[in-house]
Amino acid sequence: AQSVTQLGSHVSVSEGALVLLRCNYSSSVPPYLFWYVQYPNQGLQLLLKYTTGATLVKGINGFEAEFKKSETSFHLTKPSAHMSDAAEYFCAVMREGGSEKLVFGKGTKLTVNP
């Protein structure tokens, strides 16, 4: 069975600092990996996804993530945090091969301090 672990339910950074949100997955087959962001009282917005090919994936709003198979990780980074990045971030895994359910991590709430 697939699972996703997000280390740190809360992460706090200063404006302009590096953002690093950690995600590790377990899957018996090559996975599709996703990062979604949820702003207060809103639904989920896709930030980026990894399916095949280049392991460094660039997303919206300056975020990127690197798929590392040997570490079963898909950490999300942004070089310089903005106040508008404050939100909850969810890592999710889907099994390759078709329409399957997304399995989400518990989420990481990012706070950006001025």
Partner 1 sequence: EAGVTQSPTHLIKTRGQQATLRCSPISGHTSVYWYQQALGLGLQFLLWYDEGEERNRGNFPPRFSGRQFPNYSSELNVNALELEDSALYLCASSHRTGYQETQYFGPGTRLLVL
List residues binding partner 1 (CB under 8 A): 32, 34, 36, 42-46, 49, 51-52, 90, 92, 94, 97-107
Q: In whole angstroms, how close is the CB of 16 to partner 1 at the nearest point?
A: 30
Token pair, residue 61, equals: 């709003």
Beta-carbon contacts of residue 86 (< 8 Å; ≥ 6 apart): 110, 111, 112
3-state secondary structure of 62: helix
51 vs 113, beta carbon nearer partner 1: 51
CB of 32 to partner 1, least distance (A): 7
> How would you class 63 by CB atoms within 10 Å of its CB: exposed for 0-12, middle for 13-18, buried for 19 or more?
buried
For residues 110 and 107, what is the distance between their CA atoms, to the nearest angstrom? 10
Q: Which is nearer to partner 1, 21 or 103 (CB)?
A: 103
Nearer to partner 1, 34 or 112 (CB): 34
Taking the least distance from each CB to partner 1, the nearer of 19 and 48 is 48
User: Closest approach of Cβ 88 to partner 1, in Å?
Assistant: 10
